[in-house]
Amino acid sequence: MEIQGAVALVTGGASGLGEATVRRLVGQGAKAVIVDMQAEKAEALIADLGDSVTFAHTDVSNPEQVDGAIEMAAAMGTLRIAVNCAGIGWASRTINRDGSAHDLDVYRKVIEVNTIGTFNVLSRAAGAMSQTEPNEDGERGVVINTASVAAFDGQIGQIAYSTSKAGVVGLTLPAARDLAPVGVRVCTIAPGLMDTPMLALLPDDQRAALAKDVVFPKRLGSPDEYAKLVEAIVTNPYLNGETFRLDGALRMPPK
């Protein structure tokens, strides 16, 4: 899929992995819709990148709001790329130290945003792509989801987050198979420890401690390294139905 001239929908696009993705895709000639709840950060990114970018204040688990963002993308050109970076985390064990159960509402919320939100955007963006003209290879678009190494190496206290990200991994292959007849590819990236704004708030010694289990290179990953993998998936038409770990060979310990 050519990036030049395409329109991309990027959830969580106002910061972190999503922001890096927006910057890279726009730098390669795409237009982009930032799908996010952080209006101030989105507007700052638009001010930096110019008219190629617009903002849709959107809850990814809300079908009507996602449809509105897709309509904004269609108004900019042909939607070819959707990247799901929006997500939330929560730290809590299956039972608490006093034996009480994990808060079920919190568990549901993490699943709602990370898994249901990803599927909501995937399904609706793919539906819009299916109505476009294919390229010479019959391809109409590509959807890239974001899981986590926690889908495979979930740590103590990550029960909700790991479940949600394992769901994203699990939907990747069946979605790719479902969407093959309309020429839409689906892949997922499972990042390890990435140097996002959240981790940037930690002191240097804590950041170094997090990086100690990374095999090589022995550091946190950068958001642009995530964005480079997005670019590689978009431009390589034979990548489909797969989840790619982006983690420096990290395997997370229990805690």
Condensed to tens digits (0 to 9), the pLDDT of residues 168-178 reads 999 999 999 99
pLDDT score recorded for residue 138: 96
pLDDT score recorded for residue 201: 63
Question: Is it the case that residue 163 has pLDDT exceeding 90?
Answer: yes
pLDDT score recorded for residue 207: 74
pTM (2 decimals)? 0.95
Confidence of residue 56 (pLDDT cuts 50, 70, 90): very high
Question: Is it the case that residue 190 has pLDDT exceeding 90?
Answer: yes
Per-residue pLDDT of 209-238, as tens digits, reads 778 889 999 999 999 999 999 999 999 999
For the record, the structure tokens of 53 come out as 């970018």
% the chain with pLDDT above 90 = 89
In angstroms, the CA 81 to CA 83 distance is 7
Confidence of residue 98 (pLDDT cuts 50, 70, 90): very high
Residue 50, domain CATH: 3.40.50.720
pLDDT score recorded for residue 182: 98
In a domain, 54, yes or no: yes
Q: Over the range 49-77, which residues count as b (16 or more CB within 10 Å of their CB) and which as e?
A: beebbbbbebbbbeeebbeebbebbbebe
Residue 161 annotated to the active site: yes
For the record, the structure tokens of 253 come out as 């310990």
In a domain, 56, yes or no: yes
Per-residue pLDDT of 28-51, as tens digits, reads 999 999 999 999 999 999 999 999
Question: Is it the case that residue 82 has pLDDT exceeding 90?
Answer: yes
Q: Which residues contact 40 (CB under 8 A, 6 or more apart)?
A: none
pLDDT score recorded for residue 202: 66
In a domain, 156, yes or no: yes
Confidence of residue 251 (pLDDT cuts 50, 70, 90): very high
In a domain, 109, yes or no: yes
Smallest CA-to-CA distance from 80 within 42, 37, 33, 114 is with 33
In a domain, 176, yes or no: yes
In a domain, 59, yes or no: yes
In a domain, 253, yes or no: no
Query: What is the domain count for the chain?
Result: 1
Question: Is it the case that residue 89 has pLDDT exceeding 80?
Answer: yes
- The domain in which residue 228 lies consists of 7-245
- Looking at 107, 161, 226, 238, which residue is catalytic? 161
In a domain, 64, yes or no: yes
